[in-house]
Structure 1
Amino acid sequence: MKYVNKLTFLLLVSFSATFAQEKLTKEQAIKLALENNYGIKIAKNQVKIAKNNASIYNSGFLPKVVANADARYSLNNTELTNRDGETSEINDAKSQTYNASIGFNYTLFDGLGRSYNYKKLKETYNLSELEAKTIIENSVLQIFSVYYEVAKLTEDNKNILESLNISKQRLERAKYSFDYGQSTKLQLLNAEVDVNNDSISYINNLRFLANAKRDLNLLLGRPVTTDFTIVTDVKFNIFFELNALLEKVKKHNIEVLKSNKNIELNKYDLKVNKSFLLPSLTLSGSYGYNKSKNDASVFINQLSNGLNTSLNLTWNLFDGGTTKTRIQNSKITADNLLIQKEQIENELERTTANSLEVYNNALFILKAEEKNVETNKRNFSRTEEQFKLGQITSIEFRQAQVNLLNAKSSLNQAKYDTKNAELKLLQLSGELLNTNF
């Protein structure tokens, strides 16, 4: 009985604590995840990197401007000999040179390679957004899975507590009956055992619930010790039609969209490689300032400044077959990407059909479990009446009680299995992030 009293104390503490807990809705959970989830934050940063790479500053379209300057000093002994054989010496001759220039280099034409590269960078940025969306979708699916696990354990907790209260009431009746000599010690002991077993189940379920909440907090990127309650109600999109689903999958599924994007990127790779077959034209120019002083020179001081420009045409007529090899490989890669796309579409068609079958089966099981709960409720109600009248044993009563608890637990499992199956279909059809949960 001391064990039961301790449990009662724990229950009172848990009930009083629930008033201070936040109510975490599904919408709030998704909002927190989009802001704080570690994987999503990293994915967003990867998108930012791709956006920077797709900037005009990384395109090669802007000219390069370089400034140079240097100063030199030397002290030499110099011996000079003219054509007549006369020699002269200059000792400790100083030489000073100062140079400064600013120049630019700009490619006027490169076979359109820059243009295709720039377009490829833009498409790479779009692909990075799809990659980030994949991570977000998978994170959302994982968050819902854990959220519904918390919901299931919450409802299981409620059902176990109801069963525990029934067992406690039975224990009280058994005590009174035993005290007045209307039942045996065995019936009292059986009632105590059942209370203890239900108490253990309740405490274990509390532990599972606490673990699940910590798992969810981790996915939401917040302190894992944050306590909360959740909304256990779920809504279902009762009907999905296979052909309509497959149409959406082909148009909106992330893997299909990424496959299409990779095909586009390969087209730009091919065009970039072909650009090496064409000439390139480069314009360069500079403005320089030069000053020198040399004691050993005929002209002691020299000063020059001015503008220099040049136009350079380069045409690589033969590069040993490197460009040809790249072009051939790009075409082969294009064939592989088309094959991969076909494979992805076939696999998605199979996965969609399987997932739809799982969902429909889950709906059937859900309806069957709902009926099963109603049947067990009626059975338990009648069993309870017969038990109070002494027409059945405590073992039969306990069996009906356990059957009802198991039926409720199975219904909870079926309800959230069905919802998870629905979310999988929404992800396959590309509608997961557009759904009102």
Structure 2
Amino acid sequence: MRKKIIFSVIASLMCLMVRAQDTTVNGPILTLKDAIDIALDQNFNIRIAKVSLEQAKANNTIGNAGMLPTISAIGTLSKSITDAKIELATGAEQNRHNAQATTLGGAAQLNWTLFDGLRMFIAKDRLNEMEQIGNIQLRSQVQATVSQVIISYSSVVYEKQQLIALDTAMSLAYSRMTIAKKNFEVGTSAKTDYLQAQVDYNASKYASILQDAKLRQLKDSLMLLLSRDQFADFDVEDSLKLNPDLTFNAKELWMSDNFDVQLAAEQKQLSVFDLALTKRLQIPTLNLAASYNYNRLQNDAGATLFNRTYGPQVGLNLNLPIFDGFNLQRQKKVARLEVNRQDLLYQYTQSRVAMQYRVAWRAYKNALEGLNLEKENIKYAAENVMIQQARFKVGVSNTLELREAENSYVAALTRLVDAGYTLKVAEIKLLVIENKLVR
């Protein structure tokens, strides 16, 4: 007989849970995989990082490093009208009214730095480094976005499960209210049991309304992260896929893969290139200048009435820095200090990331233990509420005992949901630090 009662209560609870789940459905199901795919394609931060990488690639050329010559063409044309009175040394005089003068000139010029202390090659290495930084920043942004999407999606699932827990409390209160009403009508219990059940039912219903509003707000936040329509109706999966098998790894196995550490290393290398560029400023620079010129002058008055010249011109320019007010020494000192600063930042980043990993691992381990405990607790709480419902129906237990059992079950269900979400967040943080979230 007891088994039949327990089976009946389990079936009743399952029906209530299904009904509670149905109330949360708004539109098609958005899976976690779909959310990640949408974010990878539409997220603004990823798209911005892609543009930044394309800019770094466009800048990474040998011409931008100064290895190629520059060629330019110039042309001039001028015309003037003047009144001229000229007395020549021979004693002759020229008087011209509205005398015209026309000047026509053109040139093709080439400038090429032949030697600059190898600064151009260091500049090219620096451009390569800038492109590498852009690539790491893009991959880091992709991983950060995926992490945000998973946590945001998990938050929606978490609040949906909390809504189900509140609807379960409401359903249990409704069931108790129905039983208390029947017992009151047949005279086996006081009206206070029925009234208390009615109060508990209304309180659970109001809490469910508030939770539904909170769930919708989190859905809007998820849509913003996906760069999608804020008014789109959708539902999420009913549960989170948890990974209870993560292991603690020594930092030597993952430290070099961490994006923060990689960026700190690249910034350090960038400062080394800047120091090398500064040192090369004290080395002489040799430039080649070549041109082909054409000039034509025609005057109506003057000692020269017509003049035309054209032909090539070539020359070498040597620039040797001798004294610049000690600015070069200052620049080298600042550059060395920057290398030292970036090295300290690199060491600090390694220490900070290692600390974050230890904290994340302890949080993951504690969350896993908590989840296992709550899985065990929910079984006891479910069986307790079933027994108390059966006893309440036959008048063996009172409404306070049943109410306490119901509250204990709902609290255990809420803690179970919370433990699952906490474990998921800790799992994601560990994978992000180890750079294993995105393959």
Give your verdict on TM over 0.5. yes
Evaluate the alpha carbon distance shift between residue 290 and residue 15 of structure 1 in structure 2; reply closer, same or farther with a 3 A threshold.
same
Q: Select between 58-67 and 395-404 the one with higher mean Cα deviation.
A: 58-67
Distance 2:295 2:419 in 1: 86
Match in the other structure for 2:282: 277
Match for 1:104: what amino acid?
Answer: L
Q: Which consecutive unaligned segments of at least 5 residues does structure 2 have? A: 1-17
**Structure 1 position 363, deviation (Å):** 0.9
In the other structure, the counterpart of 1:113 is 119
1:198 alignment partner, SS class: helix
The one-letter code matched in structure 2 to 1:158 is: I
Secondary structure of the 2:95 match is strand
Aligned-partner Cα distance in 2 for 1:82–1:197:
115
- Could you say if the C-alpha distance between residues 366 and 235 of structure 1 is closer, same or farther in structure 2, counting changes exceeding 3 Å? same
Give 2:245's aligned residue.
238
Q: 2:170 aligns with which of 164, 167, 171?
A: 164
Q: Helix, strand or coil: the match of 1:93?
A: strand
Query: What corresponds to 1:36 in structure 2?
Result: 42
CA distance in 1, matches of 2:61, 2:19: 61
Task: Quote the residue 1:94 is aligned against.
Answer: 100
Whether contact under 8 Å (2:21, 2:164) holds in the other structure is: no
C-alpha distance in structure 1 between counterparts of 2:379 and 2:21, whole Å: 29
**Preserved CA contact (<8 Å) 1:249 1:348:** no
1:72 equivalenced with 2:78 (yes/no) = yes
> What is the match of residue 3 of structure 1?
none
Picking from 393, 396, 407, the partner of 2:398 is: 393
SS in 2 for 1:304: strand
Aligned to 1:146: 152
Number of residue pairs matched by the alignment: 421
**Number of the residue aligned with 1:303:** 308
Identify if the C-alpha distance between structure 1 residues 119 and 369 changes in structure 2 by more than 3 Å, giving closer, same or farther. same
User: In the aligned structure 1, how far is the partner of 2:385 from the partner of 2:155?
Assistant: 27
Corresponding residue of 1:205 = 211
1:189 counterpart = 2:167:
no
Deviations 1:355-386 (A, max 9, x none): 11111111111111111111111211211121
% of aligned pairs identical?
26
Mapped partners of 2:270, 2:21: distance in 1: 57
Map 1:303-322 onto structure 2 (within 5 A). 303-322=308-327
Q: Deviations over 1:112-169 (max 9, x none)?
A: 1111112101101211222333333333322222211111111222232233223222
1:429 shift after superposition: 1.3
Report the CA distance between 1:353 and its aligned residue. 1.4
Q: What is the identity, as a one-letter code, of the residue corresponding to 2:341?
A: N
Q: Show CA shifts across 1:315-353 (max 9, x none).
A: 213333322322232222222222222222222222211
Cα distance between partner residues in 2 of 1:288 and 1:114? 29
> Counterpart of 2:310 in 1: which secondary structure?
strand
In the alignment, structure 1 residue 417 sits paired with structure 2 residue 425: no
Q: Residue type matched to 1:47 in 2?
A: L
Query: What is the correspondence of 1:333-412 to structure 2 with a 5 Å cutoff?
Result: 333-412=338-417
In structure 1, how many angstroms separate the alpha carbons of the residues matched to 2:19 and 2:55?
53
Cα deviation 1:93-120 (Å, max 9, x = unaligned): 2111111222121111111111111210
Partner letter of residue 206 of structure 1? D
* Distance verdict in 2 for CA 1:174–1:138, change over 3 Å: same
SS of the residue corresponding to residue 56 of structure 1 reads coil
Moved more, 331-340 or 256-265: 331-340
Instruction: State the distance in 1 between where 2:310 and 2:196 align.
Output: 109
Tell me, yes or no, if the aligned pair for 1:242 and 1:353 is still in contact at 8 Å.
no
1:98 is paired with a residue whose SS is strand
* Residue 429 (structure 1) aligned to one of 411, 414, 434: 434
Taking structure 1 as the reference length, the TM-score comes to 0.90
Equivalent residue, structure 2, for 1:7: none
Q: CA deviation at 1:170?
A: 2.5
* Alignment partners' CA distance in 1, 2:139 and 2:411: 39
Question: 2-side partners of 1:194 and 1:83: how far apart?
Answer: 122
Q: Per-residue deviation at 1:84?
A: 5.0
Describe the superposition over 1:189-235 as per-residue Cα deviations: whole angstroms up to 9, x where unpaired.
12211221121122111111111111111111111122222222312
The whole-number CA distance in structure 2 between the counterparts of 1:385 and 1:208 is 35
Task: Give the whole-Å Cα distance in 2 for the aligned partners of 1:234 and 1:152.
Answer: 12
Q: Could you list the runs of 5+ residues in structure 1 that have no partner in the other structure?
A: 1-10
Letter in structure 2 aligned against 1:315: L
| Separation in 1, partners of 2:244, 2:132 | 31
**Structural RMSD (CA):** 2.2
Give 2:330's match in structure 1, choosing from 321, 325, 328: 325
**Residue 141 to residue 16, structure 1, CA distance change in 2 (3 Å):** closer
